[in-house]
Structure 1
């Protein structure tokens, strides 16, 4: 099912539940993807996000050169690929191709949208040299947001099948899948 556009006022909700994300980047004909467990929504209008990207990564090199990136929310169905992209360097070759991860075109940035995910945020870097160097923390303004309408609609997640649930990395190859949603009336 093709992704559905998400109003930017709801873009933060794609990350608000704290999932592990894939960070994709592209510059000068090269592309890369990595996994990142440390990310969060940061603001509403315009929507902003924060993500930690280590100095040693090829993804960071491409982001610093291009000034943009994509945060993608993978589902449990591609957890093996998520672990793999987080375990090897893109300097050794195209991880998308090596891992059989299809790359879809984004609408506002050159970085690709990793297929098989359930949500995507296209972002432009908000330059903050001090926090980038001191803490490896990158801020991004969300330019476009997309989600699989089977699991995100009307401004909220509604996870169904196990493979469609977002994943949360703990350590040592262990993940948790998002559990059941419930409402509290108050």
Structure 2
């Protein structure tokens, strides 16, 4: 597991506001799963909320609906191949987390696991909105715990020490961008 520090909940939006692809981890009963999601965003500050698209055909959707919780994990370039793999295959009939060799750590509040080697983690409880879930596959979550690797995020700012420890942004066809150099105006 990467080291992690708590991020104050009203500042959790900072973990997503640069638009990274995330890994959505979920669990219910003895089942667990992870999928990649490029369509996600911070939605509010206090209480902090997020939005993520989870297609109705996925095992992740089934587990999130059953448990009412999920984790948004912010992967790094170091695990881009794992991110592509979990976004390309269904978890039905297999333990996708084990198949791709992803390490996990127990979350602090929810039952869905934290995926190791990520840069940040947002533990979420579903805010029930049946109409938008059914119509648009859009899930809203209240962030109940937020964590970040202090090597890349501290004092409310991202600071990437090297190319492998940058967040990633999925384009299509296996192509990603890594977050670039920060600058201030």
For structure 1, the residue ranges without an aligned partner over 5 or more in a row are none
Counterparts of 2:181 and 2:161 in 1: how far apart (Å)? Answer: 9
Partner of 1:156: 157
Counterparts of 2:116 and 2:85 in 1: how far apart (Å)? Answer: 15
Q: Does 1:105 align with 2:106?
A: yes
CA RMSD of aligned residues (A): 0.6
**What TM-score comes out, normalization by structure 1 length?**
0.98
Counterparts of 1:29 and 1:85 in 2: how far apart (Å)? Answer: 19
Q: How many residues align?
A: 184
Q: Does 1:32 align with 2:33?
A: yes
> Structure 1 runs of 4+ off > 3 angstroms?
none
Partner of 1:126: 127
Counterparts of 1:9 and 1:60 in 2: how far apart (Å)? Answer: 27
Counterparts of 2:178 and 2:161 in 1: how far apart (Å)? Answer: 12
Q: CA deviation at 1:160?
A: 1.8
Counterparts of 1:142 and 1:9 in 2: how far apart (Å)? Answer: 9
For structure 2, the residue ranges without an aligned partner over 5 or more in a row are none
